[in-house]
Amino acid sequence: MYLCTMMADETKKAFNVRAIREQFPALSQKIYNKNLIYFDNGATSQKPAMVLDAINQYYSKDNANIHRGVHFMSQHATTEYETARKTIQHYIHAKSSDEIIFTKGTTDGINLIASSYGELLTEGDEILITAMEHHSNIVPWQMLCQRKKLTLKVAPINLKGELITEEFDRLLTDKTKLVSVTHISNTLGTINPIAEIVKKAHAVGAKVVVDGAQSIQHMAIDVQALDCDFFVFSGHKVFGPTGIGVLYGKEALLEKMPPYQGGGDMIAKVTFERTTYNELPFKFEAGTPHIAGGICLGKAFEFLNGLDLQAIQTYEKEITEYAQDLLDTFEDLSIIGEAKHKTSVVSFSIKGIHPFDIGTLLDKQGIAVRTGHHCTQPLMDFFKIPGTIRASFAFYNTKEEIDTFIEAVDRSMNLLK
């Protein structure tokens, strides 16, 4: 056993940021004549050559529609697409590949759950979210609550940006049928205690949706260990293409849920009188899917499988803390989000300076950050700020880049004062 583990570890490449950067062609470009520093990974990640090659390979050679063709290319594309599904299943430790539904992304996944699982909810039922959710994990529930006369409850956070456990416990009652919570806050970097939340929710009979848009690329995910009922994420934030994502759902729940959209691929038999639906996962995948997206997302996970996830997690925490400590030395600068458990995101605001101004000046120095409300307007209202400047990191970022970024922040602040 020990020997097997050792051998498996040895096959993983040692974590070397220089070697990793070489695999991401986008990182070596110049922007406004400056070396690009890409700190907008919370919005989307760059793509490794392995994924880019797979996109090229698919469209230049393997392109065919899947699942129904009798010809070689169709069968080959089908095998590749279904292999990707299995790769993702193993990566997130789902029991079965039938539990992996391909979607357009996190937003699509949440809307699917709200539309389909939402049909099983009845008047008076409650849905519980937190105050740090992305608009994508607020608005679909508001729409569902309006449609089905349900109540949306919001668990508050403290000034550090952590969920207030006592308040969450108070709002979680036997009326709560669904808890939908982000794994990592896109604005604050707070890591929520998902396993604990799931345990409490299950104790009152509620199901749990985890918004994994910001966690899938930063930590090992085991949906069975978390015991969450649904886990959704976007491909483009985890080094894959845009327009593809995944909804994991426990098989028994997915079986109970009505289809989300009707069309080809999701049917077993259609007559004008009645249609019977296809089995999982196809029941939820109407129409020709994003075939290239699915296959190439599989490649992104194969890429991650070649890395040491534990080492990545440690490295990302280290660079996040490094950036936060340096930013903390500026007078008039406040870090927004100081949770004990946080990673990969540093949001900050500067007294008397609009985030838009800093963002514009950093851009002209070759540095990509995000400014604004980050699709979390209620959270900005809570902190009473118009927006933040957010630097979000990936494992290909370096401390040298952070040093350059700090100098650029300093230069920008001096210009704007």
Partner 1 sequence: MTLQEIQEEIISEFDVFDDWMDKYEYIIDLGKELPIIDPLKKTDDRLIEGCQSKVWLDATVVDGKMQFTADSDAIITKGIIGLLIRVMNEQSPEAVATADLFFIQKIGLQEHLSPTRSNGLIGMVKKLKMSALQALNA
Which residues contact partner 1 by CB under 8 A? 32, 353-357, 360-361, 364-365, 371-373, 386-387, 411, 415-416
Sequence-ordered list of residues with C-beta below 8 angstroms from that of 341, at least 6 positions apart, any chain: 162, 190, 191, 193
Structure token pair of residue 92: 């997130």
User: Whole-number minimum distance, CB 387 to partner 1, in Å?
Assistant: 7
Phi, psi dihedral angles at 242 (to 5 degrees)? -80, 165
Closest to partner 1 by CB, 89 vs 388, is 388
User: Whole-number minimum distance, CB 188 to partner 1, in Å?
Assistant: 19
User: Whole-number minimum distance, CB 79 to partner 1, in Å?
Assistant: 39
Please list the active-site residues: 375
Q: Give me the half-sphere count of Cα atoms (radius 13 Å) on the Cβ side of residue 155.
A: 26
Closest to partner 1 by CB, 256 vs 411, is 411
CB distance 27 to 395 below 8 Å: no
Pairing of strands 245-249, 100-103: antiparallel
Closest to partner 1 by CB, 130 vs 365, is 365
Q: Per-residue b/e over 102-111, b at no fewer than 16 CB within 10 Å?
A: bbbbbbbbbb
Distance CA 178, CA 126 (A): 7
Pairing of strands 367-368, 37-38: parallel
User: Whole-number minimum distance, CB 63 to partner 1, in Å?
Assistant: 31
Structure token pair of residue 114: 């709200």
Structure token pair of residue 307: 């890395």
CB distance 314 to 220 below 8 Å: no
Closest to partner 1 by CB, 69 vs 372, is 372
Distance CA 41, CA 35 (A): 17
User: Whole-number minimum distance, CB 393 to partner 1, in Å?
Assistant: 22
Closest to partner 1 by CB, 187 vs 190, is 187
